[in-house]
Every structure is written in structure tokens, then in C-alpha cells.
């Protein structure tokens, strides 16, 4: 995109500063010599006062994620807004059938919209649950298990598994192999949107509250 710079120049003070001074009339012979009045020193034009720059908009108060993930709140996955995951799907679709790539991506997007995550309380435990809707219209639990919250900013959750997980993906999840210095992160973007960081190549996954 071409950038256009506009530069203004010319007489930037009062317009009279750009004009010639009027001629002084000569004294007549009959009149006594005029007594020169004291000449006032030329006035120095006041410096141009520039308006102060507009104050930057105050940063929005971070969304408290604890309020967003209130017990049982469901968050629907958005493939279209999850750039890395969408690219991964596109690569897979083009590899399978380049001519049907658009239809393949659309089908994956629709399928992804049936998946989601939520947080539930069970006694003094906080559970993290990922799920999908099966062909029969019923919920299928992919992963369900307790988590431990770590110190994090108000708009983020940092957590680690705190026990065994169940669900149809529990065996391959590998939570029991998560290194001690690794944790999962969910960030609140607004009152209805969260982003969960998944390991590469999936990247940042966007979810919207239902």
C-alpha cells in the first residue's frame, strides 16, 4: 500500500507578517519638526502553541476469565478463526482431493463447530472437559479430568492435570507425560471468547461461549 505524506509550508504566522509595511508621509515645511516618539521595540510573536497529543485510550480492563468459565459454561470451537488449525485442515484437504478442497474445508468447519470445551466444579475440584456432538445428536466426552490452577494474569488460566482423565481420547492424550514445567493456557479475549493454546501444529484455538 502506498503511503502518502502531506507537507504544509508558507507563512505560518499572521497574514500581516507577509505584507509590506505602509509608506511614512514626509513632514510639510510649515510644520515644526516633528518630535520623534519613542519607538517601541518590535514585539516578538508569541510562539505557536501546539495542542497536546490526544491521550491514548486507556487499556481495557482485562476480562476476568473466572467469570467467563462459570460452572458448566460451554464454548464452541471456531475453525475459521483458528489460523494454524485451519491451515492444517486445508493442507489435508488439498492432499486428499485438490478439486474438492473447498467442500472438504467447509465440512471440517461444520464438524468443528460441534466440538467444544467447558469447565465444571466437582466438590473442591475443577474439571476440564472437551466434547463433541455425535451423529446421534448426543454429547461425546473426549477428555474429562481434574486440573490444578497455577498463578496467572486475571484474564488467563494456566493449569495442569491433577489426576486421571477419562473419555474416548484419554489414552492418547498423554497428560501423564506432560513435563513438570509445561502447562495449558486459556486466555479471555472478551466476555464470550476464549483462546486455548494447543501444541503445534494446531496453535491457538478460538472458542465462543454458547
Of 157, 179, 156, 175, nearest to 165 (Cα)? Answer: 175
Contact 104, 119 (CB under 8 A): no
DSSP-assigned beta bridge partners for residue 145: 128
Between these two residues, 59 and 86, which has the higher pLDDT value? 86
65-79+115-209 fold: Lipocalin (2.40.128)
What are the pLDDT digits (tens) for 42-51?
554 444 444 4
Decide if pLDDT at 20 tops 70.
no
Contact 36, 170 (CB under 8 A): no
Mean pLDDT of 141-170: 94
Q: What is the pLDDT of residue 50?
A: 40
Q: What is the pLDDT of residue 155?
A: 95
Mean pLDDT of 8-12: 25
Distance CA(173)–CA(132), nearest Å, equals: 16
**What is the CB neighbour count within 10 angstroms for residue 140?**
16
Between these two residues, 81 and 33, which has the higher pLDDT value? 81
Of 25, 41, 69, nearest to 159 (Cα)? Answer: 69
The region of weakest confidence among 4-18, 81-95, 180-194 is: 4-18
* pLDDT-derived band at 188, boundaries 50, 70, 90: very high
Q: What residue spans define the domains of the chain?
A: 65-79+115-209
Between these two residues, 110 and 54, which has the higher pLDDT value? 110
Q: What is the pLDDT of residue 100?
A: 85
Mean pLDDT of 127-156: 94
Decide if pLDDT at 3 tops 70.
no
Mean pLDDT of 77-90: 95
Strands 74-78 and 115-122: antiparallel
Q: Using CB atoms within 10 A of its CB, is residue 109 exposed (0-12), middle (13-18) or buried (19+)? A: middle
Amino acid at each position: 500500500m502506498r503511503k502518502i505524506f502531506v507537507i504544509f509550508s508558507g507563512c505560518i504566522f499572521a497574514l500581516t507578517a507577509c505584507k509590506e509595511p505602509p509608506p511614512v508621509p514626509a513632514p510639510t515645511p510649515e510644520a515644526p519638526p516633528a518630535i520623534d516618539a519613542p519607538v517601541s521595540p518590535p514585539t516578538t510573536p508569541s510562539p505557536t502553541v501546539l495542542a497536546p497529543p490526544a491521550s491514548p485510550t486507556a487499556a481495557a480492563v482485562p476480562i476476568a476469565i473466572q467469570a467467563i468459565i462459570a460452572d458448566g459454561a460451554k464454548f464452541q470451537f471456531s475453525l475459521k478463526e483458528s489460523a494454524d488449525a485451519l491451515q492444517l485442515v486445508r493442507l489435508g484437504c488439498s492432499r486428499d482431493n485438490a478439486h474438492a478442497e473447498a467442500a472438504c474445508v467447509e465440512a471440517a468447519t461444520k464438524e468443528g463447530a460441534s466440538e467444544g470445551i467447558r469447565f465444571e466444579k466437582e466438590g473442591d475440584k475443577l474439571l476440564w472437559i472437551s466434547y463433541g456432538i455425535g451423529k446421534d445428536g448426543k454429547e461425546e466426552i473426549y477428555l474429562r479430568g481434574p486440573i490444578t490452577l497455577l498463578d496467572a494474569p486475571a484474564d488467563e488460566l494456566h493449569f495442569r492435570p491433577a489426576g486421571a482423565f477419562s473419555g474416548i481420547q484419554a489414552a492418547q492424550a498423554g497428560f501423564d507425560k506432560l513435563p513438570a514445567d509445561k502447562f495449558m493456557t486459556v486466555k479471555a479475549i472478551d466476555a464470550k471468547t476464549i483462546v486455548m493454546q494447543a501444541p503445534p501444529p494446531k496453535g491457538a484455538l478460538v472458542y465462543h461461549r454458547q
